[in-house]
Amino acid sequence: MLSVSMSQTPVNTEARDESQTENVGGRRPMDQLRNNSSGRMATETVRDGRVLVLYTGGTIGMIRNENGVLVPKENAFLKKLRNYPHMHDREYAEERFGSMGPLVLPMNATDSRRVIYNVLEYSPLCDSSNMTMDDWIRIAEDIKQSYEHFDGFVVLHGTDTLSYTASALSFMLEALGKIVILTGSQVPIFDTRSDGLDNFLSSLVIAANYNIPEVCVYFGTNLMRGNRTSKISATAFEAFSSPNCAPLAKANIKIEVDYRAIFRPCTLEKFHVHASLNRNVGLLRIFPSITTDLVKTFLQPPIEGVVLQTYGAGNMPMNRKDIIIELSEAAKRGIIIVNITQCSTGCVSGVYESGKQLEEAGVISGFDMTPEAALTKLAYVLSKKEWDIETKRQMMQTNLRGELTAGRPPFLQDLDLVDAVARSLRISSTSELQELGTILFPAMLNAAVLSHDEVKLEALKGYGADISQTNADGRTALHIACCEGDVRIVHCLLRMGANVHIKDRFDRTPLTDAIEYDHHEIIKVLLQCGAHLHGSAHLIAEKMCIAAAVGNVKRLKSYGLANADLSQHDISGRTPLHFAALHNKVSVIQFLLEKGVETECLDKAGQSPYDLAKAAGSAEAMTLLSPSKSSNTLSNEIQSVSS
């Protein structure tokens, strides 16, 4: 079970504000760990980045006992973090949230967001060598439960099986739109000389500030695609490598992200978790003099999928027809056998005769997948009941999450636009090239959106543009399209992988823009792709109250479509119905009553909407809100006022 390690929840990203509850026995249910408004409203201009940390166990949080042996100790990790100045700005946190609020990273002059994070400690803490598929499912489900309430997620995990967990999560978290980072350490974070501090700090900063919708592994100074990593050292601080895929980001003095390398989901669907995995899978490594009986036994029921690790470019001993026969018979029985290389870099190919023999026997290519990715992908694909065996074989050879490079690598167009401009300007340094791309592409993408030009958008993507690249204000092409109101362009951008969760420098998401321009069809499309309300519940309520005060029913409908709570109160305790009553906005009152909002809620002065209507002499509002009316009478009077 989960042990929730704090009693204070962070700021809400939904419209509903949930009250704080007591922390019974140091534990609170997951569904209360939400971004709800709590503590004082932030008065500083710096925005918040919210991160949920799942502490599953591992070396990073271990404590040395009296004998100097590393052991996990329940509830010790969070207590130590609160007293660790690198990890927690106690003065700021206590002023804003109270002594038992979320943890807050210290800030420096270059930070654009204040990183606020909550820690969920698993109980019992799990040594990574004990990790199972059930643990992968638990992590995935915990991310699902809190997905809409945090900007990013960090999973603290033991290093031994970290790559297996990262690979599995990359497949299980379908249509992922936010970053999930797995990290750990070779030495406990509280030791004098530890890699844990940098790994954890960097993971938090990246998760709170960068929109990279992938499951990643952070170790050393590299942010790597999770399903491309393997542990390569038991002792080095650079313990993980991504042999066939360059890092997505490097964290040195500056964090440099290769946005063109990010694998973005291009389907119009909402984030969801595939929580079922096939456990009848295994790894079979070919070695000299391997016996036929061993291979035959390995391929017996209940086995349904095998990752076959062969020599070099996917080769088998050519004089072992006995093994080829066993593999062929297994493939005919419906067992999916995936061929990957034993080498740490490179991929399998059919350049040698022995590789061709395997292909003819029904063994399929795993290209350049790591063993961890191939095994977890096989467990994922085989669990898809809606796919037949041929579809499953095809999916194993399809690049689903950036886990493989099939055939020709995904090159950009032969003429890279940025390179062409750089040559004309005599620019050659990497930093200048990156800066040029951040200027050119957002401007051209936004221009294509404004001209409603789908062809140009497709062309720019082909030339290397990251469709979710931000301009100087942190705004993307999708932000602009949601202001413009062209559903066709919005669909086009989403199909190309545009991310619905990116916040600009004003903390506005594309959904915010769609709401404030009342583009109802676009709101529906964004919700279909997983968009949700961000920001303080009180601030959302304030905007709805303003709309109610001026009689803007269309705006309230926009918020309603976006799943806002139309009964949400502002900081003074007043709801949109209070303001509609005070200003006698009959059409707004009718709309809100039809939506079933609370009518007896009291503001901080103890006044209900009816009380305000009475005080302001708003006759029509008083008629509609009279507390003595029955539901039938009220319905008739709404119709009467309407007519």
Catalytic residue annotation: 59
C-alpha span between 575 and 598 (Å, rounded): 9
DSSP state of 259: G
C-alpha span between 108 and 639 (Å, rounded): 59
C-alpha span between 11 and 32 (Å, rounded): 12
> What is the DSSP code string of 208-253?
HH----SEEEEETTEEEEGGG-EE--SS-SS-EE-TTS--SEEESS
C-alpha span between 332 and 12 (Å, rounded): 54
Tokens at 286, concatenated: 């070919």
Residue type for position 25: G
Work out the widest C-alpha separation in the chain, in whole angstroms: 98
Contact 544, 556 (CB under 8 A): yes
C-alpha span between 123 and 116 (Å, rounded): 23
Please give the helix or strand (H or E) that residue 114 lies within, else none. strand 113-122
Q: How far is CA 138 from CA 174, 345, 374, in A?
A: 15, 32, 21
Look up tokens 């007591």; give the residue: 22
Tokens at 436, concatenated: 């040029």
C-alpha span between 307 and 341 (Å, rounded): 10
C-alpha span between 306 and 335 (Å, rounded): 7
Spell out the SS3 assignment of 270-296.
Answer: CCEECCCCCCCEEEEECCCCCCHHHHH
C-alpha span between 460 and 467 (Å, rounded): 8
C-alpha span between 109 and 26 (Å, rounded): 35
Residue 223, beta-bridge partner list = 218, 249
C-alpha span between 548 and 641 (Å, rounded): 18
Contact 54, 60 (CB under 8 A): no
CB burial readout 243-254, b (16+ within 10 A) else e: ebbebbbebeee
Spell out the SS3 assignment of 490-557.
Answer: HHHHHHCCCCCCCCCCCCCCHHHHHHHCCCHHHHHHHHHCCCCCCCCHHHHHHHHHHHHHCCCHHHHH
Q: Which residue, among 11, 204, 23, has the nearest Cα to 97 in the 3D structure?
A: 11
